[in-house]
Structure 1
Amino acid sequence: MRSNPERRTALVDAAIEVLASDGARGLTFRSVDQAAGVPAGTASNYFTNRDALLLQAGLRIHDRLGPDPTDLDQPPSAEFLTDLLRLLRQRLTEDRTGYLALLELRLEATRRPELQEALTTRVRANLDENVQLHRDHGLPGDPLLLYLAMGGLMLESLTLPGVLPDNALEQLVGHLIRAGRPTP
């Protein structure tokens, strides 16, 4: 296997593009090579098989969609929480391809136990980190409810634009802050 980290990352990013545009069934070494603009056979030099490529794409998406640590430097408040969720929406909207590829990977994980295990581990770690951040910052509302609600909001916004009103995020956060009690 080749070990050029920049080339490997470019191939994984190309795989994410293919997943978003063509779905998991369209992801082949050939399609990744074409999307990355590299010679045929390059992806197969970096990944032992398609499963390895899917796994790396799943891990990379979370890196691409993760927050900037400087966004977390504010005093706790409902406004800070709303700002964090707006930044999340902005990141997911700006990297719509990454989010759509993640949805494809989640569906594919229902058929591939290793991928499911890896994504479950990564998503669970992200959720635990978000809940801890929520508690450490003394933010209002229930972090699990916010997580689930934001997932639904982003699914609607990025797959069926125009279904939700423009102020859906603010409405959602307001309701959840007023109604939510932190889970133990």
Structure 2
Amino acid sequence: MPSRQEVLLDAAITVLGSEGSRRLTHRAVDAAAGLPSGSASNYFKTREALVNAMAARFVAREQATWAALTALVTPRTPAELVVALAAFVRRAVGPDRVLTVARYGLFVEAALHPEAHQALAESAREIRRFGAQWLRAVGMPDPEEMCELILDQMDGMILHQLAYPDPTLDVERRLAFLCRV
């Protein structure tokens, strides 16, 4: 069972992902968490403290997701890799849309808050390690460099699909091009 602090941080992530950065207030977090007014400010005295704690909570959730994903899915060929990555993109812009929007909102916040930046940068390095393992397993040359390129391209596709949804986007074709399938 999540702690009260985790409930507040998960609510803050939901507020950011569904209502945007301007609506991310202690009061909005309290309401989203279903807790009495003042609960969030008891734990996080300032908005910066809230953002930094959100970044840390987001990182923990994101790393758990990637660890679970890499434990469940083990692509053995570039084609299988493309299928797994395309499924990730579709999930990010579909069922996980609020979480994904919150992720990009945290990227913007991290540009202004060094502590949040540090947490997200370390998480990105960890995710790239997970991804490089997949690329190494399917025989891709220079897996670290390719992983960075592929993840950056996926971020771009996801961001564009969030901002300008294109139902005709052929995610597999684009990823296959990158993965040389």
Please tell me the TM-score bracket, short chain as reference: 0.7 to 0.9
Q: Deviations over 1:34-89 (max 9, x none)?
A: 11111101112233432232123223334445233443245x10222012202312
Separation in 2, partners of 1:39, 1:146: 44
Show structure 2 runs of 5+ residues with no match.
none
1:44 aligns with 2:48: no
SS of alignment partner, residue 146 of structure 1: helix
SS of alignment partner, residue 55 of structure 1: helix
Contact 1:18 1:31 in 2 (8 A): yes
Q: Deviations over 1:85-117 (max 9, x none)?
A: 023124313111111111111112212222222
Distance 1:87 1:170, change over 3 A: closer
**4+ residue runs of structure 1 moved beyond 6 angstroms?**
none
Show structure 1 runs of 5+ residues with no match.
180-184
Separation in 2, partners of 1:125, 1:71: 17
Aligned residues: 172
SS of alignment partner, residue 166 of structure 1: coil
Correspondence for 1:166 among 165, 169, 172: 169
- TM-score, L = length of structure 2: 0.81
Separation in 2, partners of 1:31, 1:100: 17
Correspondence for 1:54 among 51, 54, 58: 51
- TM-score, L = length of structure 1: 0.80
User: What is the alpha-carbon root mean square deviation over aligned residues?
Assistant: 2.3
Same amino acid, percent of matched pairs = 33
Q: Residue 147 of structure 1 aligns to which amino acid in structure 2?
A: L
The higher-RCO structure (CA 8 Å, 6+ apart) is: 2
Separation in 1, partners of 2:132, 2:18: 32
